[in-house]
């Protein structure tokens, strides 16, 4: 039996409609949602309940499900979209949420991981809940994104197209 892909969604709205659309095209995805992801999905009018695969929501900071990553029960992990908060925690080794715990366990087990941070350029346009907005990531957020790209087994992607290509090449 082919192992699933773990897909974590954090509380970012950046390209959230495109990401959910892509998730529905990929076979064998198991979805993990932070509390903030649940809130943002409502704001952006995306219904994660339309997802046909297995879905886990954050009920506590850790969960027995994290151990499944430590024991290599997934063929890969995707975190998309990844907020600047989650990326900073990944870089600093802070594991105090479901998503950061999964990332840590996957890293310790050398599970190949793809991260699509929201902060990838000094100036970006992103779709807000009702209209496009300009976003100017802070230097610290861009530095964390760059630092994350040096992590062993982690691939940082910087666009939705690169996310699609990388997921398909690595896990499908």
Domain count, the chain: 1
Taking only the tens place, the pLDDT of each residue in 110-125 is 999 999 999 999 999 9
CA distances (Å), 147 to each of 1, 72, 88, 106, 110, in order? Answer: 35, 25, 9, 18, 18
User: pLDDT category, 52, cuts 50, 70, 90?
Assistant: confident
Tell me the CATH number at 50: 3.40.50.1950
Taking only the tens place, the pLDDT of each residue in 71-81 is 889 999 999 99
For the full predicted model, state whether its pTM sits above 0.85.
Answer: yes
Whether the predicted pLDDT of 158 surpasses 70: yes
Nearest to 84 by CA among 146, 22, 5, 154: 146
pLDDT at 62: 67
Question: What does the alpha-carbon distance between residue 75 and residue 64 come to, in Å, rounded to a whole number?
Answer: 18
Task: Give the domain extent around 17.
Answer: 4-171
């Amino acid at each position: 039996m082919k192992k699933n892909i773990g897909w974590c969604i954090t509380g970012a709205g950046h390209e959230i409609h495109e990401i959910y659309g892509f998730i529905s095209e990929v076979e064998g995805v198991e979805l993990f949602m932070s509390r903030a992801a649940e809130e943002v999905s409502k704001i952006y009018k995306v219904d994660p309940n339309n997802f046909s695969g297995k879905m886990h929501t954050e009920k506590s900071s850790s969960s027995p499900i994290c151990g499944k990553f430590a024991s290599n029960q997934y063929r890969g992990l995707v975190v998309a979209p990844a907020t600047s908060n989650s990326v900073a925690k990944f870089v600093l080794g802070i594991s105090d949420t479901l998503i950061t715990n999964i990332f840590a366990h996957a890293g310790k087990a050398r599970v190949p991981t793809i991260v699509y941070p929201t902060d990838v350029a000094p100036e970006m346009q992103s779709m807000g809940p009702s209209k496009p907005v300009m976003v100017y990531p802070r230097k610290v957020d861009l530095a964390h994104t760059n630092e994350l790209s040096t992590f062993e087994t982690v691939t940082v992607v910087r666009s939705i197209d690169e996310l699609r290509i990388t997921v398909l090449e690595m896990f499908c």
